[in-house]
Amino acid sequence: MRLRVIAVGTRMSDWVQAAYGDYARRLRGADTLELIEVPVARRSGAGDSARAMATEGERILGLLKASEYAVALDERGRSFTSVQFGDWLAGRRQAGDPVSFIIGGPDGLDPAVLKRAQLRWSLSALTFPHGLVRVLLAEQLYRASTLLAGHPYHRP
């Protein structure tokens, strides 16, 4: 199944790129993972975040195809255990539509992106740096894939 990460931000630390790349490479087989980086919109001062989020939102929405299942990573979203997420991924595989996971910018995701998303997913009640979210997402996708393949990577 084709999986994409659409992430606001283009300059990640070397460790983020290395860790994300490691998990993305491991996802050979049933799933492929593609990263699409969206530039952060300029913020010139206080009160400018809504305009910047709208600009980022337009860029994100322009990347999504009508048939694509969109998952917005959102702290107020649904939470899963790793096993539950694996089951969810199995259902998406069966549905056959490509899936895009969307990571917002410094101020989060524009309401239009949240409205377009079929699922809002919370990785944790904690707040993480955006680069770390990329790594956590890629690792959880890899973990779910290994669970579905019966691989011993996940040990309860």
Closest residue by Cα to residue 1 from 117, 89, 102, 120? 89
Residue 107, in any domain of the structure: yes
pLDDT values of the chain reduced to their tens digit, one per residue, 156 residues = 899 999 999 989 999 999 999 999 998 777 889 999 999 998 877 668 889 999 999 999 999 999 999 999 999 999 999 999 999 999 999 999 999 999 999 889 999 999 999 999 999 989 889 999 999 999 999 999 999 998 877 666
Q: CA-CA distance, 110 to 148, in Å (whole number)?
A: 33
Residue 17, in any domain of the structure: yes
Residue 153, in any domain of the structure: no
Residue 66, in any domain of the structure: yes
Distances (CA, A) of 9 to 51, 85, 131, 143: 16, 25, 9, 25
Which CATH number belongs to the domain containing residue 80 in this structure? 3.40.1280.10
Residue 154, in any domain of the structure: no
Which pLDDT score is estimated for 154? 65
Which pLDDT score is estimated for 4? 97
What's the pTM value of the predicted model, to 2 decimals? Answer: 0.93
Number of folded domains in the chain? 1
Residue 156, in any domain of the structure: no
In the sheet where 99-103 sits, what is the strand order?
A: 32-38, 2-8, 99-103, 69-78, 119-121
Which pLDDT score is estimated for 156? 60
Residue 45, in any domain of the structure: no
Residue 155, in any domain of the structure: no
Q: Which domain holds residue 106?
A: 2-40+50-148
